Each structure stands twice: as C-alpha cells, then as structure tokens.
C-alpha cells in the first residue's frame, strides 16, 4: 500500500514504509512538471498523418507548499510567469493518481521521471518493429501502420531484387493502429495517462524519461513486486477482455470470399482434409469491390444475396455442424450504396467545415464515416449490426478500421476532433460490444478489432495485427507480429492474433507456401487461428 509524507517543500511516496520516490524541486530549483501551450497542424493521407507542432511557451514549475494525509496529498505549484496551481495525489492500493487544478489555460504538460541506464521500457501501443522502446522517441497517435509511401519504397526494392528481410525502417517514421499513453518499466512500475490527446514518450536520455501530453489530464503511476501484479493493476484502469467463446478454440477459422460457390468449396475441402474447421470467415458477405489495389469490399452492411445466394440457409446448416460463419464491418459507408443514402439524409455522417459529409479516400475510393458522437447515428449503426449480422446468424466479424477520423472535421457533439481522434477506435469497439451484449450473445459471438486506444481493452473481445505483408520482412511481415502482440499485452490487451499468411500482396509481393506454413505454425501458439486469402486472393 502507498502513503504520503510531507516534509518542508517535498513529498515522499512510501510503499511498505519505504520511500520509493520523492517529489520536490530539483537541484536547479525546478519541479519535474512543466506546463505550456502549443498548436498542432495535421495532414492526413490514407490514414497516415504528418504532424507539425509549434510550442508557444513552456513554463517550469516550482513548489510553494506541500500537505499530506495518509492516502492523499497536495503540492502547490507556481509557474515562472506566476500561475498558481495544485497537483493532487491520491493513493489507490499500489497506484497513485495525479490530478491538477489551476492549469486550465494550458494545453501542454511535460513530466520527467527518473531513469536508469539498464532499464527497459515496453508499451505505448502496438509496435511492430520494437519491443523494448528504451532509447526511442515515441509518438502516441492512432494511424495506419503501413502507409502508401512505405509500401511503394518496399515494392521498388523488391522489383530490383533488393531484399529487406532484415532491414528496419527508421523508428520515427512509424505509425500504429493501436496507440496508448501507457508504458511499463523493467523496474516494475507503469505510467498511464487519461489523456485522449497526442502524447510523446522521450526515452532517449540515460537518466530521465520525459513524457509530453497535448492536454492537461490526470495520469497514474502504479507499482508492484511482479509483472503479473503490475498488469492486474493496469487493467483495473483500462479494462479486461471477456473470455472467448468455447468454439473459438475448437479448430481454425478458414477464410473464403467470392460467393456461395467458394464458401461451399472451402467447407468441402476442409472436411475432405480434416482441417478441424470451427468457422468460415467471408469478409465480402456484403459485396465485393474490385479496385486497382485488389479485391476489396462494398461497405454496405447488408447481405449481398446476389453474390451469396442461399447464405442464410447455409449459415443455419453449418451452425448445426459446428461450423460458424463470420463476416466483416467497419464504421464507413460506401457512397454508392443504400445505407449511405439513408445515413446522409438523416445527418448521421461526420461533416466537413462546409457542412457536407466528410469523404475520406480509402485506397482508391471515397467513403463516409458514421458520426459516433451522434446518439441517433450510434443506435442506427448498432441496430444494423444486431439485425443484419447477429439476427442473420453471424457468429463473429472483423470490426475493421477506426484510425481515420480527420482532425479538421465537424462532429455532432461539438467536441474537438483532435481530442476525439485517438478515442475513435475505442468508441467503435464499444458500439460493437453493445450490439453483442444487448443481443444476449456475449460469450457466443466474437469480434476482432484492428485499431485501439486506452479504453479498447474493456470493449473489444479480440485484436488482430492488421494488414501485414505476405513476406518475412522485419517491419511488416511475419516477424513483426511477435513484438506487436507483446506490446499489446503490455498495454493490457492480452488476446490477439494475426492473419495467417499476411494480407498485403500485389505485384511481386506474393505469399509463398513456406510463409503460409510458418505463419500457421506461429499462430498455433496464439489464442486464435484464422486465415486470410489476402488482398489479391487470385
């Protein structure tokens, strides 16, 4: 248990009656918290963000007074320009919550924590090239993991025979689907912020970690004797996934697309070769869109009975044989289809600054986003999942995307989209979770998400590692899945998997038999085995 003791202008934090940290002005008279003001400008292209920041001011703080009781404390602070504020500390078991009063005119905060040279740091979301992020400067912002420029450079290398199976991209160029302002230390403590804004972790110095938040928000620091206890404490805050349905463990989910004929053929093949099939995943149940990028989907969340005639009967028949059918959904709408027309007429789409539906380009086509801050739009989309997917008989689905909310959009709620952007995938997971729970199907239905933020662990039932390349490259291929899953676990999300064989494939980036077999072997040791036919199944 933690408690506090005040002495002069210092505060000791004690655990089991031993001082584990002292908060006070340092030798140069500066407290380890600074505040300031700044502005960000964002440019988004296909889910990839270029962010430019202008720091208007950064003001160190000093201590003017300290008070403490057994489980709470207050540190009075004063900035160099005379602003007076308070840091309020509350002990919660082996965690300390830090709150602030008086910094309402600021939107930047820097917190410095002592570091040791041989310390390791893990977390910040889902990272595909690194596990230990000590020595890195990490940008905590939800985005596409693999952007078009990176893919183009990779393909140019491959066209000219330049293999990059062991070469890593510069870390500062990385983005990730799942970002979270959390890290855990090999010294057995964690930091987790309640901010929804962009954060930065500067872990490059030998003796100090500096974290910057783009808003003034509470944060936690938790301590434990074991990493298991540390993760229990962290997941008390961010939440935990429910148990997966039993059927998930009874075999592998086979991927199929192309229509009822392909669906039937996949099941016959699986039965012929005794593949222990527990499910069949058909991502194009709502229709197929062929683009320059490959075989993609029509984002209209209704059964395409022309592509899949008799699917409703097939689902019932295969359920009786213990073979579940899974589908696909995301928070976008295809502008050519009926559901978009209905949503647009009802004002359910995210708007641009001119009041028009904000259309975002996805690979080669535009799409509209359902405004998850609009309660009517929320319930409309949730009821579509209930009726068109759950009542239809689907036992699960890929709940894709969540990374694309533009920072220059206009939301129904009037909220600042810069502060909402990171939360979008968590809201999307929550909507899916509510649909499942309200249908009385939690424990029977599983959905898996790609993107995430701090609240995702309490809503999503499963993660998957996104659009990996169909190769052995360190950054984007099979090896990248391993640190990604470990990083997710260090953020409190313990249930994850990847597409067997990868996804991104075109030109000479093609899946080999060896790659598929190695991926299958690896996924035998993850909570879920599920294949994917890839971006270009033909």
Beta bridge mates, 447: 397
**β-strands 332-334, 365-369 pairing:** antiparallel
> C-alpha dihedral over 201, 204, 206, 212, to 10 degrees?
-30
How far apart CA 164 and CA 230 sit, in angstroms, is 37
Longest dimension (CA), the chain: 78
Tokens encoding 534: 């890839």
Tell me how long the chain is.
538
Name 101's Cβ contacts closer than 8 Å, sequence gap at least 6. 85, 86, 88
Considering only CA atoms, which of 302, 303, 275, 307 is closest in space to residue 290?
307
How far apart CA 344 and CA 176 sit, in angstroms, is 30
How far apart CA 173 and CA 222 sit, in angstroms, is 30
How far apart CA 195 and CA 213 sit, in angstroms, is 7
How far apart CA 190 and CA 220 sit, in angstroms, is 8
How far apart CA 79 and CA 57 sit, in angstroms, is 12
Angle (CA) 195-108-106 rounded to 5° is 105
Helix (H), strand (E) at residue 281: strand 277-281
Q: Are 326 and 395 in contact (CB under 8 A)?
A: yes
Q: Are 52 and 62 in contact (CB under 8 A)?
A: no
Tokens encoding 407: 């920072």
Considering only CA atoms, which of 418, 463, 431, 490 is closest in space to residue 195?
418
How far apart CA 317 and CA 271 sit, in angstroms, is 15
Angle (CA) 207-208-213 rounded to 5° is 170
Task: Write down the residue that tokens 């290398």 correspond to.
Answer: 157
Number of other residues whose CB lies within 10 A of the CB of residue 458: 19
Which residues does the annotation mark as catalytic?
400, 403, 467
Tokens encoding 447: 């959905």
Q: 439-454: string of b/e by CB count within 10 Å (b at 16+)?
A: bebeeebbbbbbbbbb
User: If 0-12 CB within 10 Å is exposed, 13-18 middle and 19+ buried, where does residue 261 land?
Assistant: exposed
What is the DSSP code string of 156-174? Answer: HHHHTT---TT----GGG-
How far apart CA 386 and CA 388 sit, in angstroms, is 6
414 SS3 class: coil
């Amino acid at each position: 248990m933690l408690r506090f003791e005040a002495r002069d202008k210092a505060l000791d934090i004690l655990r089991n009656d031993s001082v584990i940290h002292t908060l006070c002005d340092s030798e140069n008279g500066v407290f380890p918290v600074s505040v300031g003001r700044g502005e960000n400008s964002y440019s988004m292209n296909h889910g990839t963000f270029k962010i430019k920041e202008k720091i208007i001011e950064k003001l160190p703080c000093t201590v003017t007074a300290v008070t403490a009781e057994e489980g709470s404390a207050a540190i009075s602070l004063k900035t160099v320009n005379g602003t007076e504020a308070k840091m309020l500390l509350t002990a919660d078991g082996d965690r300390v919550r830090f709150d602030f009063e008086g910094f309402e005119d600021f939107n930047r905060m820097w917190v410095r924590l002592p570091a040791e040279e041989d310390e390791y740091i893990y977390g910040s979301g889902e990272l595909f090239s690194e596990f230990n992020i000590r020595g890195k400067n990490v940008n905590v912002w939800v985005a596409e993991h693999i952007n078009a420029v990176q893919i183009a450079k990779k393909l140019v290398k491959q066209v000219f025979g330049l293999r990059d199976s062991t070469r890593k991209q510069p870390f500062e160029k990385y983005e990730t689907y799942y970002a979270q302002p959390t890290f855990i230390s090999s010294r057995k403590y964690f930091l987790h912020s309640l901010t929804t804004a962009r954060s930065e972790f500067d872990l490059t110095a030998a003796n100090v970690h500096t974290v910057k938040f783009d808003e003034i928000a509470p944060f936690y620091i938790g301590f434990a004797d074991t990493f298991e206890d540390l993760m229990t404490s962290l997941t008390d805050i961010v939440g935990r996934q429910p148990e997966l349905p039993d059927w998930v463990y009874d075999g592998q989910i086979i991927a199929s697309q192309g229509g009822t004929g392909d669906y039937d053929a996949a099941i016959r093949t699986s039965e012929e070769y005794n593949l222990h099939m527990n499910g069949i995943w058909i991502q194009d149940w709502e229709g197929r869109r062929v683009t320059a990028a490959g075989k993609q989907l029509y984002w209209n969340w209704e059964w395409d009975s022309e592509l899949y005639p008799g699917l409703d009967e097939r689902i019932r028949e295969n359920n009786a044989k213990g073979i579940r059918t899974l589908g696909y959904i995301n928070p976008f709408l295809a502008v050519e289809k009926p559901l978009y027309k209905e949503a647009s007429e009802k004002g359910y789409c995210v708007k641009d600054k001119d009041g028009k539906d904000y259309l975002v380009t996805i690979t080669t086509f535009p799409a509209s986003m359902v405004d998850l801050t609009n309660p009517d739009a929320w319930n409309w989309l949730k009821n579509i999942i209930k009726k068109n997917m759950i009542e239809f008989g689907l036992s699960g689905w890929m709940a894709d995307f969540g990374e694309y909310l533009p920072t220059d959009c206009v939301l129904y709620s009037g909220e600042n989209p810069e502060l909402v952007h990171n939360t979008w995938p968590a809201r999307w997971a929550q909507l899916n979770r509510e649909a499942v729970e309200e249908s009385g199907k939690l424990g029977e239905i599983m959905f898996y998400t790609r993107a995430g933020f701090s609240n995702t662990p309490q809503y999503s039932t499963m993660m998957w590692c996104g659009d990996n390349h169909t190769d052995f490259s360190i950054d984007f291929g099979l090896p990248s899945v391993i640190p990604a899953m470990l990083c997710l676990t260090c953020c409190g999300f313990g249930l994850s998997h990847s597409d067997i064989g990868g996804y991104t494939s075109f030109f000479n980036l093609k899946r080999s038999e060896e790659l598929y077999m190695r991926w299958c072997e690896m996924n035998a040791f993850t909570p879920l085995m599920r294949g994917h036919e890839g971006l270009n199944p033909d």
